[in-house]
Amino acid sequence: MQKRKLGNSGLEVSAIGYGAMGLSHGYGPATDRQKAIAIVRAAAEKGVTFFDTAQIYGAENEEIVGEALAPFRGQVVIATKFGFELGLANNQQILNSRPEYIRQVTEGSLRRLRVEAIDLYYQHRVDPNVPIEDVAGTVKDLIIEGKVKHFGLSEAGVQTIRRAHGILPLAALQSEYSMMWREPEEELLPTLEELGVGFVPFSPLGKGFLTGQFDKTATFGKDDFRSIVPRFTPENLDANQVLVNLVKEVAAGKNATPAQIALAWVLAQKPWIVPIPGTTKLSRLEENLGAAEIELTVGELRDLNDALSKIEIAGDRYPVELAKRVGK
């Protein structure tokens, strides 16, 4: 597996990481624990050195990652995230990045991940009630204490990124980015490049849409986040098939799968971008990792971007309430 460095941080990871969220959160029923451990461990065995989890995905998610990667300690980079009240019922998500709370929940993550220090610690969402300088300062103290190695933000806006970076250099910014969601190209990517901050796109496959497995007949259970995402209504799934058709056409010409082309496209944008697709299936894991071997030529990338620019994506990526929390 090829390696990439996340900006100027010196943090080197596999070109494609693994996002563990879907193992227990967001995409339907939780995966059997032993199967979940097996898929994470398989990723490590196949050369993945960058793994992503979060406190809000549930204690079991961090525990799965910690148990699966115990044999690879020192060889892999584990990222997790703070910023939400934990232990609330009914999937409530209340922001909390108060310094004392960050310190409290950090201890739980260290224990569940079975590590002495968290390799990359993101604020999951910007907390409007806590100045980002206080958040960065708290993580800076945790780094001094040896409990954290690198600092990151998730779904933050450029002004917050600059303010945080001024207190404690950011290793990475995590946000959604794919052929289906290119807004980061406007302000975010130029800012990260200027500051020397790595970019970690989640949902690089458009929450599965770019694999070509969904059409207007697709249905999603109540425990699947996509059931409330405007982009996944029947009419929008149908309207966006034009994008899938384009990806399938390119894939056929490269003897690749649509998922591999979608990931190769993300990788081709900048050398400091590391996508973190998630999957519960070994075959999909192998398919995703194969994307690192696919090279889109300058001409192919130009033609693909030209075609993408003519496609208008139907449907927002978040319902209104959740959209209010991003880009702050």
Amino acid letter at 114? R
Contact 139, 168 (CB under 8 A): yes
What is the rounded end-to-end Cα distance, in angstroms, of the chain?
35
H-state helical runs in 173-240: 188-195, 234-239
Segment holding 311, helix H or strand E: none
For residues 284 and 289, give the distance between their C-alpha atoms in angstroms, rounded to a whole number. 9
User: Which residues carry out catalysis?
Assistant: 57
Task: For strands 148-154 and 172-176, give the pairing.
Answer: parallel
What amino acid occupies position 105? V
C-beta separation of 195 from 324 below 8 A: no
* CB neighbour list of residue 322: distance below 8 Å, 6 or more residues apart: none
CA distances from 226 to 203, 233, 238, 258, 304 (A): 12, 9, 15, 20, 27
Q: Rounding to the nearest 10 degrees, give the CA dihedral for residues 259, 261, 264, 265.
A: -110
Helices 241-254 and 258-269 pack at an angle, to 10 degrees, of 90
